[in-house]
Amino acid sequence: MRLTVIGTGYLGATHAAAMAELGFQVLGVDVDPTKIERLQQGDLPFHEPGLPDLLRKHTSSGRLRFTTSFEEAGAFGDVHFIAVGTPQRSGEHGADMTYVDAAVTELARAIRKDSLIVGKSTVPVGTARRLQALVAEEAAPGLSVDLAWNPEFLREGYAVEDTLHPDRLVVGVDSFKAESVLREVYAYALDRGTPFISTDFETSELVKVAANAFLATKISFINAFSEVTEVVGGDIRTLADAIGYDARIGRRFLNAGVGFGGGCLPKDIRALQARVSELGLDRTMSFLNEIDEVNLRRRDRTVYLVEEMFGSLDNVRVAVLGTAFKPNSDDVRDSPALDIAARLFSAGAEVAVYDPEANQNSAKRFPRLTYCSSLVEAVTEAEVVLVLTEWDEFKRLTPESISDLVSGKRIIDGRNILSADRWQDAGWMFRGLGRRVEVEAPILSA
């Protein structure tokens, strides 16, 4: 069985390399020739732990190739995975389906043998059924071209592990044949006992957005309690630990801080609301609006904590540690950390930024921040240090290591990873999101 993967971003490149690892002949397809050129050389254009090795291994073994040609893909593949992006539409909440529609149309026209198209992108419910009709229209007469939906749950930073060892496989199918092809593709996981959920198109599409909406809700739930502990006193981490011991709740995704970002959670909860409204269910997902708002308020709060320290942000030297939306990633899409850095800059601060992997992507979005090549460089002469992404390097940060470098001993822990006592004992003013609020008066700038 030969596979193609259309779209070679975080999802597609990982899926392509993982499928090659499992022994399939794989052709990766993208409309961006520069990206394809790099991938063909075994050079991954983004940061994802473990993926560069897998990519090089299989571009060398010959099991994994890349092309920009849909003609080549259509002649090559028995199974075609669609892994292109569905970003938020500009100025709206709904998902932009341009890339999915274009990929499926071009592919269907280029297909030269009986085959199965498998959508992996996150899409509004109803998309698979619409695309099934589109494929029937566009594919050459006489060919049997089937469609299935197979949402992907991989997390950036763990993409290889999640793809090779998924915790469940969900397939939306409309024929026994499609299901049996997918069982063959995923035989390795099925042999290991991975739950395989075969369902209709609509359920499979909804599973994905339901999972992400639930995760977003969990994060905003604990962040809403942060707002309370900040006012009444209390410690959000202890609260999360305590409720997390209840197995019905669970501790994961209860880390309070600057909130969720990335290419999935924020846009998926917005697209879900938009889709459900289109279906006439205006109120059904309106709680997601609150989830979004709680999330965005964490960014306001972080900016406020700095304002509270200085009164005015004019020319205040701020060090921002971390701009990626989460550690082990160079992704800055909808990153709370980068948003906060940019807002501090807009309010007049001088912002020195350091992220172990995301400086380059951040600079493309906000070229006017000062990008530093090390933590030491970023904090030197800073009047306040903000830790906004929980990279291991920042978790290990100690007051002793930077006290002599900064010009003001003030730190804001946006991810609840530092010990307040330790920093305060070393003479630092410490602020955390959801942590006990200090009673001392704000320090006004001279």
Q: What residues are labeled active site?
A: 264
| 391 lines the binding site for ligand UDX (CB under 6 A) | no
Instruction: Considering the complex, state which of residue 73 and residue 256 has its C-beta at the smaller distance from ligand UDX.
Output: 256
| 291 lines the binding site for ligand UDX (CB under 6 A) | no
Region label for 348, one of left (φ > 0), alpha (ψ between -120 and 50) or beta (otherwise): left
| 153 lines the binding site for ligand UDX (CB under 6 A) | yes
Instruction: Considering the complex, state which of residue 28 and residue 259 has its C-beta at the smaller distance from ligand UDX.
Output: 259
| 343 lines the binding site for ligand UDX (CB under 6 A) | no
Work out how close the CB of 157 gets to ligand UDX at its nearest, in angstroms, rounded to a whole number.
6
Contacting ligand UDX (CB under 6 A), which of 255, 273, 328, 361? 255
The pair of structure tokens assigned to 406 is: 């900064």
Instruction: Considering the complex, state which of residue 154 and residue 294 has its C-beta at the smaller distance from ligand UDX.
Output: 154
| 362 lines the binding site for ligand UDX (CB under 6 A) | no
Query: With contact defined as beta carbons under 8 Å apart, do 34 and 70 qualify?
Result: no
Work out how close the CB of 408 gets to ligand UDX at its nearest, in angstroms, rounded to a whole number.
27
Instruction: Considering the complex, state which of residue 172 and residue 261 has its C-beta at the smaller distance from ligand UDX.
Output: 261
| 260 lines the binding site for ligand UDX (CB under 6 A) | yes
| 261 lines the binding site for ligand UDX (CB under 6 A) | yes
Contacting ligand UDX (CB under 6 A), which of 154, 209, 320, 353? 154
- Residue whose token pair is 């205006």: 282
| 77 lines the binding site for ligand UDX (CB under 6 A) | no
Instruction: Considering the complex, state which of residue 59 and residue 255 has its C-beta at the smaller distance from ligand UDX.
Output: 255
How many angstroms separate the CA atoms of 269 and 254, rounded? 18
| 332 lines the binding site for ligand UDX (CB under 6 A) | no
Burial class (CB in 10 A: 0-12, 13-18, 19+), 129: middle
- Name the site residues for ligand UDX (rule: CB under 6 A): 152-156, 212, 215, 219, 253-255, 257, 259-262, 264-265, 325-326
